[in-house]
Amino acid sequence: MDTYEAKKIAQAKGFDLVEVNPKARPPVCKIMDFGRFKYEEKKQKNEAKKRQKLVELKEVKLRPKTDDHDIDFKVKHVRRFIEDGNKVKITVRFRGREITHPETAERQILVILDEVDDIGQLEQSPRMEGRTMTAIVAPRPRQQQRPPKSEAEPKADDEGEPAEA
């Protein structure tokens, strides 16, 4: 159809002539209400924005001399962050001569990783960056989550019967 005729038909109906594909030969146009089209497009974009989940990176900081009870407390924080769907950065900061024993920090990080293994997966293994050692844990997809270690099968007695709790 000729462009002049298409414009005439669109004006008669009270709509706009919108070029859909300018690269085609001949160019493809459509008769539509362009204002309404832009409005609906904007609405769809906002809907998609609402549905997406933003993943934050939470941080848990330790020191090489952090005690076992305090690490257990930090594990609870890590579990809560992962259950909320956030990634967790575990940071062990060295001061002074503590840097001569990076294996203690790695051991602490591995203990935390072992405790949250059922709901989290290691995204970045422990590595040194200056005076800090960091590791990143991401939440596991729902279908890959493992049962917690505390809910393991009951151990059998000497007679082969399950033990009572």
Domain ranges of the chain: 3-51, 57-142
Q: How far apart are CA 107 and CA 126, in angstroms?
A: 10
* pLDDT for the residue numbered 165: 47
Q: What residue has token string 């591995």?
A: 110
Tokens of residue 54, six digits: 């933003």
* pLDDT for the residue numbered 159: 57
Q: Does domain 3-51 have CATH number 3.30.460.10?
A: no
Q: What residue has token string 């993943």?
A: 55
Q: How far apart are CA 124 and CA 138, in angstroms?
A: 9
57-142 CATH fold: Translation Initiation Factor IF3 (3.30.110)
Q: Following DSSP, what letter does each residue of 99-159 receive, concatenated?
A: GG-HHHHHHHHHHHHHHTTTTEEEEEEEEEETTEEEEEEEEPPGGGPPPPGGGPPPPB-TT
* pLDDT for the residue numbered 149: 64
**Phi, psi angles (nearest 5°) of residue 68:** -60, -45
* pLDDT for the residue numbered 51: 81
pLDDT tens, N- to C-terminus, the chain (165 residues): 888 888 899 899 889 888 888 888 888 889 989 899 899 999 999 988 888 777 788 999 999 998 989 999 999 999 999 998 899 999 999 999 988 989 999 999 999 999 998 888 898 999 999 999 999 999 988 766 666 665 555 555 555 555 554
* pLDDT for the residue numbered 77: 93
Q: How far apart are CA 112 and CA 81, in angstroms?
A: 13
- Vertex 79: Cα angle to 74 and 80 (nearest 5): 95
Cis peptide bond N-terminal to 26, omega within 30:
yes
- Beta strand 132-139 with 16-21 is unpaired
Kindly list the distances between the CA atom of residue 89 and the CA atoms of 61, 123, 127, in Å, as whole numbers in the listed order. Answer: 8, 10, 12
